Structures are given as structure tokens and as C-alpha cells.
Amino acid sequence: MHNMPSIYGINFLEKSMLSIIPETVIIIFAFMVLFLTFFEKLAKRKNSYYLSLIGICFSILYVLMLSGSNIYGFYGSVVFNSFDVFLFIAILFSGMFTVLMSKDYMENSEMPVPEYYSLILFGLSAMMFLVSSNNLIMVFLSIEFMSICAYILTGYIKGNTRSTEAALKYFILGAFASAFLLFGAVFIYASTGHLNLYAIHSFLQNISYADSISRSGGMGIKVYISVGLILFLVGLAFKMSLFPFHSWTPDAYDGAPTPITNFMATGIKIAAFAVFLRIYSLIYNFNIMNFNDILWLLAVFSMTFGNIAALLSSNIKRLLAYSSIAQAGYILVGIIGGGFYGYSGTLFYLFSYIFMTAGAFAVVVIFESSDIISLDIKRYSGIGYKYPFIAASMAFFLLSFAGIPLTSGFMGKFYVFSSAVKSGYNWLVVIALLNSAFAAFYYIKIIVKMYMPDEEPVSIIRGAIDDGLMITIIICLILTLLMGVYPQIFINFANNSADSLWRI
């Protein structure tokens, strides 16, 4: 039973509420945006757009105010430390870019506006809960919460068969993956007797200590728990869109509204990697089984498959979807590398990945019209002379994806790969380097199309470009350049947050 004085203590509720205040602010604003639907006058204007931006800014403010504190809230269900601060800011940036991109997109289509923004905000809060969750039930619930928001938003374009098909595929496969996750969580609970991640961690510590004393000791329990861990990994790998579990990615990315594609590519991926990083460092790390070998295979296949499929696709959204599978493989290299440098490198890569992806998708939103032809890469031929700034920034983001020096992509790859070399995974790094050289081909193919049109350039009619899109592109450009040229601030930030993974 629980310790009664600690429940009724004055500080208990206050502390618990503090630990979830950034999420709570987002949820309150989501409800406020939703209430706008009651009033026809308010719902028609841009109120929901501005209200959601204000909510995200408030949440960032609260995260910054709370940074440096280390709070366990709600009986250890959630934990707030500098790991969370880093990832909350990353996720909130991703949400902010999604909202900024959406204004232009929503004007050109007839969709209900306030529900859209409120679903984005609910999805954001779910991602933040996922990052801060410290309990298997919390992990499962917030993954479900996040996924349900994503399913609804994927099928948001009504009457569009591609969007509906994508939502249905995503929903069925996602439900399947959630079942695996839950199955794994049940096995872990049955073998350790705990749901709290820290409690499982200390349980495993005791087991491996007993194992080191008597050689025969906890062998049985290790097999017992590893079954659960494998099933849990399947559920998480689906959300990270790693190779054998990737099949939803191209369809869902292609069918969803483009701002939502950005939301899935940045927000969901980062939240899934963050929770995997936390669970990996606490549970998988005990060498219960050779999980690094499994991850090695997943990383190699994801990179190779993603790059080959991206090379063959001519639709820009599908290309970015396949390249995001490959990027997930590179991020996984950092986790395999492990240790302090591996984790901080992974966090740095995740942070830089937001800005490149959001920038690229903002450019896609600019040139997208309602027909499917507008997403063909051929449409981009010759835009380098018509829209010099936008084309130049697109080229910069693509170079960053390819990992050319002076961009954040290079720095991220450098840290991730060097940590893997430090841990002795030389072949993995060789394969990853070959892959990123191979990937540069199809990124540069688009740049060549933009600046050296081999045929008559397709004329793109486009009015004034929306402010939100320009703000997104400019912020992404500045941060991608800054992280490539002077990464030290961000590395310190990532080091701080990786450090708190060990401070249990």
C-alpha cells in the first residue's frame, strides 16, 4: 500500500502538476480551439491558427521555466528532467512548424479548421506525455493517444481516396503494432513484477548482480524477459518506421495532408525514438540478449531499403518518406553505438532532423496544388530561376539530408557515426557511409532538376507566398546552418539531457 503522509502532503499535488504543466497547457489550448467551433463567426477566421501558436509558445515558455528541475510526478508515472526539456523543445518546434505550414494549406481546401488545429495540439501533448512517461502503462497509453490523433489527421481530406486509403492502412497496421507492444509489456510485467521503468531497471540490476556471483543464477529469468522485450521492440519499431515494419510509411506520408506528413515525419518519429532511447538505456542495455545485433540488422536494412526505394520514386512526398526510413536507420546507428556519446549524438541528430525535414516539407507545401501531378519531381525543373530564395533553401535542406559539410546533417552524422566507431562497430559505419554516399545521388538529382532544366520548365502559377511558410523556411535555414557551423551550443544541450538518463 502507499505511504499515506506522502499522498496528503502539501507538496505532492503541486509537484505532480508541475511535472506535466507543459502538456497541460497544450491540452487546455486544444480544448479552447475546439470550443471555437461553437461560434460560427469565430471558427471562420484565423483564430484557431493564432490560438494554437500562442499555446505552443506558452508551452515552450513553461518548459524553459522548468528546465533544470528534476521532478517525479504522479507516483513515478512521469518524470521531468533535462532529457525531457530537450525533447519537449524539439517536439514543440515540430508542432509549431506544422501549424505554421497549415494556414496556407487549409485556405486552399474545404476542411473544418478548428478541429484540425485542436487535433494537432492533442497529438503534441500525447508526444510530450510519451517522452516523459516512466511507466509501461503510460508508454502504451500515450503511444495510442498519439497514434489516434495521427490516424484521424491522415484521413482528414474527405472525399480523397488516397487520403482515406492511407488512413485505413495506417490504422490497421498501427493497431496490429500496438497489440504487439501491449503483448510485450505484459510479458515484461509478468517476468519482473514491475511497471515502473526505474523499478524494472533496479530489478534487472539485482538479477545481473546475482548472476555475476553464481554463474547458474538468473539464466531462466533472462530468457523470460527477453521474449517480452522483443515484442515490445516490434511495437516501437513500427512507430520509428524501421525496415521490416515500415510498410505503412510511404502510403501514410503520401496520402496525408502535407503539413501532417511533416508532423508524422518529425514529431512522431522523435517521440518514438525518445521513448526507445529511455527504455533502451534503462532495460535493453543489460545484455539480456544480444539486442545490439538485432538493432544492427534493423539499421542496415532500413538504410539500404530506404535509399533504394527513394531512388526509384518520382513523387516528392514518397521520396521524402523513403528517405525518412533511411534517416531512421542512421539515427539507430547512434543508439547502437551507445554510451554517453552515442545517446547525445542521437539527440543532436534528432534535433537537426526536425529542421531539415520541416524546411523541405514547407517547400513542398508551397508548390503543391490539389492535383497529384504537382508532387512529381519533374514539376520542380527550372524553379531555381523563378523562385531563387525558395529553391536555394530547398537545395540547402536536401544537401543537409545528404550530409554535406556546413549543414546540420553532416554534424549529426559525424557524431552518430563516430560514437559507433568508438564502440567498435566498424562495419556498421562503413555500410552507413556507403549508404549516405548513395543517398546523395537522389537528393542532388532534385537540385540538378531545379537549376538545370533539360526540358521546357513547367510553369508554376503561384500567388503571394504565405508568411507562415516563409517564417518556417527562414527559421529552419538559420538553425540548419547554425548547427552545421557552430554546433557547440546544441551539443552542450544534448550532452546535458543525455546525462540525465543516468541520473535515476
Partner 1 sequence: MEALFYVFSFIAIFSALMVVTMRNPLTSALYLVLCFFALAGFYVILDMQFLAAMQILVYAGAIMVLVVLVIMLLNISRIKNIKSDLHQKIIGVLISLILFAEIVLYIINGAQKRPSGIFTHALIKRIGNTQVIGEFLFTGYILPFEIASILLFVAIIGAYLFAKKKF
Measured from the CB atom, is 152 or 465 closer to partner 1?
152
Cα gap 145→178, rounded to integer Å: 11
Quick one: the chain helix, strand, coil %, rounded to 5? 80, 0, 20
Among 44, 54, 108, 193, binds partner 1 (CB under 8 A): 193
Measured from the CB atom, is 224 or 438 closer to partner 1?
224
DSSP letter, residue 501 = T
Cell of 245: 515494419
Measured from the CB atom, is 156 or 396 closer to partner 1?
156
Q: Binding pattern to partner 1, positions 20-39, x when CB under 8 A? A: x------x------x-----
Q: Does 480 bind partner 1 (CB under 8 A)?
A: no
Residue 131 contacts residue 289 (beta carbons within 8 Å): no
Among 46, 54, 65, 220, binds partner 1 (CB under 8 A): 220
Measured from the CB atom, is 140 or 296 closer to partner 1?
140
Q: Does 84 bind partner 1 (CB under 8 A)?
A: no
Q: What does each C-alpha distance from 490 to 188, 218, 358, 399, 411 come to in angstroms? A: 35, 41, 18, 20, 11
Q: Does 230 bind partner 1 (CB under 8 A)?
A: yes
Among 35, 58, 145, 414, binds partner 1 (CB under 8 A): 145
User: What are the start-end ranges of the H helices in 69-157?
Assistant: 82-107, 113-132, 136-154
61: Cβ contacts below 8 Å, ≥ 6 apart: none
Q: Does 179 bind partner 1 (CB under 8 A)?
A: no
Q: At what angle do helices 339-366 and 388-402 cross, to 10 degrees?
A: 150
Among 35, 50, 72, 75, binds partner 1 (CB under 8 A): 75
What's the alpha-carbon Rg for the chain, to the nearest Å?
22
Q: Does 148 bind partner 1 (CB under 8 A)?
A: yes
Measured from the CB atom, is 4 or 461 closer to partner 1?
4
Measured from the CB atom, is 218 or 334 closer to partner 1?
218
In 3D space, the residue among 289, 204, 280 whose CA is nearest the CA of residue 240 turns out to be: 280
Q: Does 200 bind partner 1 (CB under 8 A)?
A: no
Cα gap 329→433, rounded to integer Å: 12
DSSP letter, residue 265 = I
Cell of 87: 525533447
Q: Does 40 bind partner 1 (CB under 8 A)?
A: no
Rounded to the nearest whole angstrom, what is the least distance from the CB of residue 312 to partner 1 in the complex?
24
Cα gap 108→126, rounded to integer Å: 28
Rounded to the nearest whole angstrom, what is the least distance from the CB of residue 441 to partner 1 in the complex?
34
Q: Does 151 bind partner 1 (CB under 8 A)?
A: yes
Instruction: Reduce the secondary structure of 441-457 to three states and give it as a string.
Output: HHHHHHHHHHHCCCCCC
Cα–chain center distance at 58: 21
Q: Whose grid coordinates read 502559377?
A: 461
Cα gap 410→398, rounded to integer Å: 12
Rounded to the nearest whole angstrom, what is the least distance from the CB of residue 223 to partner 1 in the complex?
4
Q: Pick the stretch among 45-53, 143-151, 435-443, 473-481 that binds partner 1 (CB under 8 A).
A: 143-151
Among 158, 378, 386, 462, binds partner 1 (CB under 8 A): 158
Q: Does 78 bind partner 1 (CB under 8 A)?
A: yes
Q: Does 218 bind partner 1 (CB under 8 A)?
A: yes
Q: Does 173 bind partner 1 (CB under 8 A)?
A: no
Applying CB under 8 A, what is the total number of residues that bind partner 1?
50
Q: What does each C-alpha distance from 157 to 112, 122, 254, 275 come to in angstroms? A: 10, 19, 12, 30
Cα gap 287→204, rounded to integer Å: 10
Q: Does 95 bind partner 1 (CB under 8 A)?
A: no
Provide the total of helices (H) and of strands (E) in the chain, helices listed first. Answer: 23, 2
Rounded to the nearest whole angstrom, what is the least distance from the CB of residue 70 to partner 1 in the complex?
18
Q: Does 154 bind partner 1 (CB under 8 A)?
A: no
Rounded to the nearest whole angstrom, what is the least distance from the CB of residue 250 to partner 1 in the complex?
21
**For binding to partner 1 (CB under 8 A), which residues are involved?**
1-2, 7, 16, 20, 27, 34, 73-75, 77-78, 110-112, 115, 118-119, 122, 126, 129, 135, 137-138, 141-142, 144-145, 148-149, 151-152, 155-156, 158, 187, 190-193, 203, 218, 220-221, 223-224, 227-228, 230-231
